[in-house]
Chain A
Amino acid sequence: MRVERRGPTGKALADGSLWLAGGLLALLAAAALVSGEVPFTPARLRAAIAGEDELAATILWQIRLPRLLVAALVGAGLASSGLVMQAYFRNHLASPGLLGVSSGGAAGAVIAIAAGAASLSLWFLPLAAIAGAFLATAAVLGLARGGVGTERLLLAGVALNALLGAVTSHVLTSHASLYERNGQILFWLLGGLEDRTWEHVVVAAPIAALAALLWPLGRPMDLLSLGVDEARSLGVDVRRLRWAMVGLSTLLTALATAVAGTVGFVGLVVPHVLRLLVGPEHRRLVPLSLVGGAAFVVGCDLLGRSAGGLRLGVVTALVGAPYFLWLLRRTER
């Protein structure tokens, strides 16, 4: 006899969850495309797609669609990156923002911009962000060595965020005369999606490929999240898995940061909410965090735009920070 796996509601929710998240993403994406300073009526949207209304077509294809795609990729990248970090550190509070990996990416990006390298090639900026993010990851791994305790991990993140913030501030002040560059630097630090073009979509596109590599890691991540030695004795190639997890989560955060600056709390809030809804199994959480993360950031951007131009990083912080504090309180008990 087979024992029923879970209650009927839980099962239905879990099985339909990906469709639900996908539907939500589609809805938010549609809203993002038609709303803005120039709202589209259905007729105008049709005209824009058909190319009959030139202004509407430009807004749709050159402004809103790239922005939407960058938002979705950034959300998918950050949320899945946070999910992987939480499994790696076996800690609900691990995430790219809190651990300083995002700040590392931003510091790398800012240095590349300040040095003028970013204007030489489209790929210098993301490469610098990747280098910065990996340095930050290496530092966290070193600081939190052996210990996965919340306190130690978060303190390592605090120290790293402060240090990388100082690096960025230094670069910022030593280039104070260059107003144009400073504008760019500020953009990376606050996190935003203003003026995103197809170039940024191209830079963020590898997020989709990296996400595909995460797919088969769901089951071994389940085992690892319950203990390293236990996972090893159950047949998980822990060394390889951990390298893959560190590499993928850092790359995902770096690419997201390279196109949108430091956008906080996505990697913390999305995986956590999803875990509350469908349980901790990573086979389910990996695809869900990609779709759910995309929906979250597209939604936050929409919210910010309709609130009169709040930057994405500000909106995610407004949503995420209270949630984080609540989570911290709950964890302590």
Chain B
Amino acid sequence: MSPAGLSLHQVAIRGRLSPLSLELPTGLVVGVVGPNGSGKSTLLAVAAGLSPGEGRERNEVRWQGDRAAGLPALERGRRAAWTPAEARFEFGFTVRSVVAQGRYAHGDDERGVDDLLARLDLRALADRPVDRLSGGERQRVLLARALATGAPLQLWDEPLAPLDPRHALEVLALAREHARAGGLVVFSLHDLRLAGGLDRLVLLEGGCLRAAGAPAKVLTPERVRAVFGVEARIEPGLSLSLP
């Protein structure tokens, strides 16, 4: 049996995330859902090895079976990529050079960069300074950089929030492609209708893990009412797809 793409063992951040364990196999696109302040960003940052925890409560995070904390810095860059929910760029690097930063851990500058610029509709912006982009454009730059790392584990914090429907669907398509190629994509989102179409869901509430598994099992009408305070009804409505 191949090791899980991501496994968390009793990880916790005081005041934000109660101890939880989670094991996610590779080849999936996994959504992290929950109301505001439920710990989605914290969970993703912990999974990315960015919050090692304090003292004895060291968080045990494993990527492809190996302890993340034990890996050398460059190897960490090659194993897992993380993007923040909101990007602020203080310096005017060009879009292309920021995407090329994803190749840092590999020591090259080019590989896959042109392709990703095209896939994320950034070709026309390639020479623009990143501090003069809209929120959605910045988000696509971050995602392109994360994918440029070639890291099998991709952890994205609300990647779709600032994107228009077309770009959101394209990012979703890229996520599926990455998963099919043997990667694991875990990202947080608020759109429960979209979440219903993912491979797995992780539901958080108040820093606690409420449920994890297939979307239909996680997002039952009762649970949606209890956690989100909204009524869930399944009915045909507006559905969007790439042409």
Contact = CB atoms under 8 A, between A and B. Distances in A.
B80 A233 contact: yes
B149 A234 contact: yes
Contacts of B49: 232-233
5 contacts: A3-B96, A226-B90, A232-B50, A234-B105, A238-B73
Contact of A235 (B78, B84, B130): B78
Interface residues of A, number: 31
A1 B110 CA distance: 12
A22 interface: no
Contacts, number: 92
Interface in A237-291: 237-238, 240, 275, 279-281
A240 B72 CA distance: 12
A230 B114 CA distance: 21
Interface string A165-185: 000000000000000000000
Contacts of A280: 91-93
B101 A7 contact: no
B77 A236 contact: yes
B48 interface: yes
Given A235-B77, A236-B77, A237-B73, A223 B96 contact: no
Given A229-B50, A234-B77, A279 B93 contact: yes
B82 interface: yes
Contacts of B48: 229, 233
Contacts of B130: 226
B82 A222 contact: no
Contact of A234 (B94, B101, B127): B101
Chain A binding surface SS class: loop
A6 interface: yes
A239 to B, nearest CB: 9
Given A6-B94, A225-B91, A279-B92, A219 B104 contact: yes
Contacts of B142: 230
Most-contacted residue by chain A among B81, B93, B96 (CB, 10 A): B93
Contacts of B83: 230
Interface in A186-231: 219-220, 222-223, 225-227, 229-230
A16 to B, nearest CB: 19
Given A222-B101, A234-B105, A229 B92 contact: no
Nearest to A222: B101
